[in-house]
């Protein structure tokens, strides 16, 4: 596996709508593995193909509910869930929206307060081209929306009600992607 270089603003690809994936071959599987490794190394909880300079409708997400909370001594680590989203589409959203702080691997040094749907349902293809429907809520729903925005050339800063440079304490938090 190979670590891929994450591009930063003002790289033009970050503002373009990505093209659907149509070929499910060995090269795609290698790319997915590279993206997972790159996301973990960054570290982030999501990574979209445009962030590594590829105009493809492909994103990876890995997160465990409760991952950011203090664990009691001896408690097991929360189990992370890994998702590969190919040609994803949000097909259902909750009425409720929530505010939250987001960061992005492609916009280092900034965070913003963004309103997102509390719960969503996504239709996508998995890494082998099989159709999947995924229902997520809370922080996971926020991550999915953030990554799908990348595939449409949108960034969290476009939706943020305010953007700022975090203090030292906040810098320790993992950006969404």
Sign of CA dihedral 101, 82, 129, 124: negative
Average pLDDT score over residue span 46-54 = 98
Strands 58-63 and 46-48 come out as antiparallel
The tally of domains found in the chain comes to: 1
| CATH assignment at residue 74 | 3.90.45.10
Structural domain contains residue 119:
yes
The pLDDT assigned to 1 comes to: 81
pLDDT band at 79 (very low <50, low <70, confident <90, very high): confident
The pLDDT assigned to 16 comes to: 98
Residue 144 token pair: 């999915």
- Compute CA 89 distance to the chain's CA centroid, rounded to the nearest angstrom: 14
The pLDDT assigned to 167 comes to: 82
Structural domain contains residue 3:
no
Q: Is the pLDDT of residue 69 over 80?
A: no
Structural domain contains residue 92:
yes
User: Can 147 be counted among the known catalytic residues?
Assistant: yes
pLDDT band at 98 (very low <50, low <70, confident <90, very high): very high
Structural domain contains residue 139:
yes
Residue 80 token pair: 């992370």
Structural domain contains residue 176:
no
- Compute CA 25 distance to the chain's CA centroid, rounded to the nearest angstrom: 23
Q: What is the pLDDT of residues 155-172, one digit of tens each?
A: 999 999 999 999 866 544
pLDDT band at 65 (very low <50, low <70, confident <90, very high): confident
- For residues 38 and 23, what is the distance between their CA atoms, to the nearest angstrom? 22
Structural domain range at position 66: 12-171
**Model pTM?**
0.90
Structural domain contains residue 145:
yes
Residue with token string 């596996």? 1
Catalytic residue among 147, 154, 168, 169: 147
Q: Which of 1, 124, 114, 110 is nearest to 59 (CA)?
A: 124
Structural domain contains residue 122:
yes
Classified as helix, coil or strand, 166 is coil
Residue 5 token pair: 């270089």
Structural domain contains residue 7:
no
Strands 119-125 and 58-63 come out as unpaired
Q: Is the pLDDT of residue 5 over 60?
A: yes
Residue 152's φ and ψ, nearest 5 degrees, are -105, 10
């Amino acid at each position: 596996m190979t670590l891929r270089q994450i591009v930063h603003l003002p790289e033009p690809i970050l503002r373009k709508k990505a093209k659907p994936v149509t070929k499910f071959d060995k090269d795609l599987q290698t790319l997915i593995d590279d993206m997972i490794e790159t996301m973990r190394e960054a570290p982030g909880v999501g990574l979209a193909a445009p962030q590594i300079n590829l105009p493809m409708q492909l994103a990876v997400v890995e997160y465990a509910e409760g991952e950011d909370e203090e664990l009691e001594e001896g408690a097991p680590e929360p189990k992370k869930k890994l998702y590969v989203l190919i040609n994803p589409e949000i097909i259902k959203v909750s009425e409720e929206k929530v505010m939250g702080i987001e960061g992005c691997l492609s916009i280092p040094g900034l965070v913003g307060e963004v309103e997102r749907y509390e719960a969503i349902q996504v239709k996508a293809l998995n890494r082998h081209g099989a159709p999947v429907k995924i229902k997520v809520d809370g922080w996971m729903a926020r991550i999915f929306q953030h990554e799908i925005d990348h595939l449409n050339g949108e960034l969290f800063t476009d939706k943020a009600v305010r953007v700022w440079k975090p203090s030292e304490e906040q810098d320790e938090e993992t950006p969404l992607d």
